[in-house]
Chain A
Amino acid sequence: MKNADRISSIAILGLCAYFWIESRRFTMFGLLFPQAVVIALGLLALALLIVSFFRKREKVKALEQTGVKYLNIIAAGLLLIAWTFFIKLLGFVVTSAVFFSVIAIMFDSRKKTALYLLKKIAVVVATVGFFYLFFSKLLLVPFPRGVLF
C-alpha cells in the first residue's frame, strides 16, 4: 500500500498542477473555488506522500496470494471499453449481445462444451432482446444507435 500511496499522491499532485495552470485563465469568480480546492487537494496529497515515507513497512501479499486474477480484471476492463466504443459502430443491441456473451462465457468457470455455449448465447440474446423491447417499446427509453441496431 505504501507504493500505491506514493504513486496515487504523485498522480494527484500532477492533476492539481494541471488544474492550477488551466484555472489561471478563468474570471475572478470562476477561479476562486477551483483554486481553493486545488490547494486543499494538493496539500492533502503532499501529506499522503510524506506519511507514506514514515509509515512502517507493511507485509504486502504477492498478487497470486491475494487470489485476485489481475489479468482477468484487465481483460474485463478492456472488454468494457470495447463494448462502449463499438456501440456507435454496430448499434447498442448487436454490441451488447456480442460483449454480454463474451463476458458471460469468458468468466464462467464451468466446462465450456458446444451445448453450453449455445445455451449461454441463447440466454444472453433472449435477455438483451427482452430488455430492448421492454425499455424501448414499453418504457420508450431511447437506445444508442449505430449502423445496425
Chain B
Amino acid sequence: MSSFIAIFYPMNLLFIILGVGSGIIVGALPGLTATMAIALLVPFTFAMAPIHGLVLLGAIYCGAIYGGCFSAILINTPGTPSAIATTFDGYPLAKKGEAYRAIVTATVSSVVGGLIGVLFLIFLSPPLSRASLKFGPPEFFWLTTFGLTIIATLASKSILKGLIGGAFGLLISTIGIAPIGGSVRFTFGTVSLQEGIGLIPALIGFFCIPEVLGMIERKEKHYHVITYRKQKNVVLNVLRKLLKKPVLVIRSAVIGTIVGIIPGAGGNIAGLVSYNEAVRASKYPQKFGRGIVDGVIASETSNNAEVSGSLIPLLTLGIPGAPPAAVLLGALLLQGMRPGADLFTVHAGIIYTFIFSLILSNLLILPMGIYSGKLVSKLITNIPVAFLAPFVVFLSIIGSYSIHNNIFDVYVMLFFGIVGYVGKKVGFGPGPIVLGLILGNICEQGLVQSILMGKAAGSIVSIFFTRPISIVLIFLTAVSACWPILRKYLAEAKKK
C-alpha cells in the first residue's frame, strides 16, 4: 500500500508527467525510438534516487510506445517500430477525415492495453521471481541460451545471422577480468578495458548511432501531415465502442503481454500478430486496411500491453523481453539492483512503486495524448532531421561520458555505434548482440559453476541434462532454434 501511495509523492508525480510527455514527443518523431530515448537517459538517472530514475524511464517507455501512433496516423510513418500495424488502418482513417477519431481510439486503446499489461505484471512477477529461487547455475546457463536462441529467431530475418549476433555479443562480454579465474582477457593492452565493455556506452552506441546515420540517409524525406480538428463526444463514443468489443481488446492485450514476455519479440511483433488475429477473427475482414477502428484498437492495445509484458522476464529472471527493457536492465544494474527474488524482497518498496507508477503513466496518456496531439503534429513537421541527428549525438556523448567520467567510454560508444550501423546494413540487428552482451556474464558464470559442480558430483553431463527445469529449458531452446523450420513445415502441411 505504501508503494502505491509513493507514486503520488510530488517528485515521483513530476517525473511521471515529464516522462510521459517527453516519451510521447520522442515516440511521435520518426527516427527516434523508445529504446534510444531510454538509452540516452539511463546515465542521467544514475545521479537520481533509484525510484525517481526508474519511474522516469518507465513513463518514457509507456509514452514513447504510445507516441508512435501520431506519426503512424498522420503521416503514414510509424514513429516507433511498435506502431507499424497502426499505419494499416490509422492512416486510411485519417485520409477519410477521421484523424481525430483514429488518434482518440489509439489513445484509449493504449491506455486500456497498458493497464491490462500492468495487471499481468503485478500478478505474474512475484510467483515467477519466487520460482527463480529454484534456479541454480545450470538453469541460468540454459535460460540464457534459450533467451539468445529465441531473440535470434524472432529479432532477425535470418536465424543464422541472429545467432551470430548473439554469439558476437557473448564474445565482447568476455572482454575484461574473468568473473571466475581472474584472467585479464582481450584488453588489447588498454587499462580502461579491464573493467570490461561498459554496458551503457555500448547500448547507447548500438541503439542511437545507427539511428542517427539512418536519419542522415533519409534526410530528403519531407512529411505531409494530415491536419484535423477536435470533435465533440469522440472520447465517449470510442469508449463505448471499446466496451462493445471486449474480446478484441482482451485478446490484443493478452497477445501483447505474451509477446512481451518472449525475449526479443518487441512491440512491432505484438502489434502485427494482434492485428493479424483481429483480421482473422473479424466478421468483416475485407474492411481491414481501408480505415477501420478495429485495426487501430488491435495494434495499439497490444503494443502498450507489451511494455509491461517485456518487464516480467526482466524483473523476475533478468532476461529482457524487448530492446527498451534491455536498456532498463542496464538502469537497474547501475542502481545496484539485480533482477530476481531479491528485487521483490530487498528492493520491494522501489520495485512495487515502479510497477504502480506504470498504472499512472498509462492513465496519464489519456489526457496528455488527446490534448498534445496538435503540438506533436507541429513538432513532426518543424524539427528538421538535420538538427535532430547531431542533437542525438550530442546527448549520446554526454550520456556515455557521465557514468565513469571517462572519455574512453565515448570512444566505446562510437565504436559500437559504427559496428551497429554496418552490422544493420548487412543484416545483423543490434537486438541479439546487445542481449548477448547483457547475458554473457550470467551465461559464463552458469557454465563454469555448473562444470565445477559437475566435477564435484562426479558427472558434468548429469548436472547439465538431468535437472527438471534444465530439461524444460533445453526443450524450449531446441523448439525456438528449430522454429523457422517448424513454421515452414506447419505452413506447408496446412496448405495440403
Contacts and interface: CB of A to CB of B under 8 A. Distances in A.
B183 A30 contact: yes
Contacts of B395: 131
B447 A1 contact: no
A104 B171 contact: no
Contact of A45 (B164, B185, B216): B164
Contacts of A103: 386, 389-390, 393
Interface string B199-212: 00000000001001
Interface string B384-419: 111101110111011001100101001100100110
Given A92-B397, A96-B397, A144-B407, 11 more contacts: A22-B185, A26-B178, A29-B183, A33-B443, A40-B167, A73-B216, A73-B421, A84-B407, A87-B410, A135-B402, A141-B398
Label chain A's interface by main secondary structure. helix
A135 B380 CA distance: 26
A33 B183 contact: no
B306 interface: no
A44 B178 contact: no
Contact of A41 (B167, B217, B410, B444): B167
A130 B171 CA distance: 40
Contact of B44 (A32, A139, A143): A139
B170 interface: yes
Contact of A44 (B47, B164, B216, B426): B164
Interface in A65-80: 68-69, 72-73, 76-77, 80
B161 interface: yes
A77 B174 contact: no
Given A37-B167, A109-B220, A83 B397 contact: yes
Contacts of A83: 393, 397
Contacts of B391: 100, 127
A7 B425 CA distance: 13
Interface of A: 1, 4-5, 7-8, 12, 15, 19, 22-23, 26-34, 36-38, 40-41, 44-45, 47-48, 51, 68-69, 72-73, 76-77, 80-81, 83-84, 87-88, 92, 96, 99-100, 103-109, 123-124, 127-128, 131, 135, 139-144
Contacts of A76: 212-213, 216, 389
A28 B220 CA distance: 55
B220 A41 contact: no
A69 B393 contact: no
B185 A34 contact: yes
A108 B308 CA distance: 39
B398 A33 contact: no
Given A29-B178, A37-B167, A23 B185 contact: yes
Given A30-B182, A103-B389, A108-B384, A72 B447 contact: no
A70 B421 CA distance: 12
Closest 9 A/B residue pairs (Cβ): A30-B183, A29-B181, A108-B386, A30-B181, A30-B178, A26-B183, A41-B167, A103-B390, A33-B444
Given A77-B213, A84-B414, A104 B178 contact: no
Contacts, number: 173
A73 B327 CA distance: 26
A12 B160 CA distance: 13
Nearest to A26: B183
Interface residues of B, number: 57
9 contacts: A27-B182, A41-B168, A72-B219, A73-B421, A92-B398, A107-B389, A131-B395, A142-B402, A142-B405
B16 interface: no
Contacts of B180: 29-30
A47 B158 CA distance: 12
B449 to A, nearest CB: 10
Contacts of A81: 414
B363 interface: no
B401 A47 contact: no
Most buried by A among B183, B394, B421, B444: B394
Nearest to A12: B164
B448 interface: yes
Contacts of A19: 171, 186
B178 A27 contact: yes
B160 A37 contact: no
Contacts of B410: 84, 87, 144
A5 B163 CA distance: 14
Contacts of A5: 426-427
A47 B426 CA distance: 16
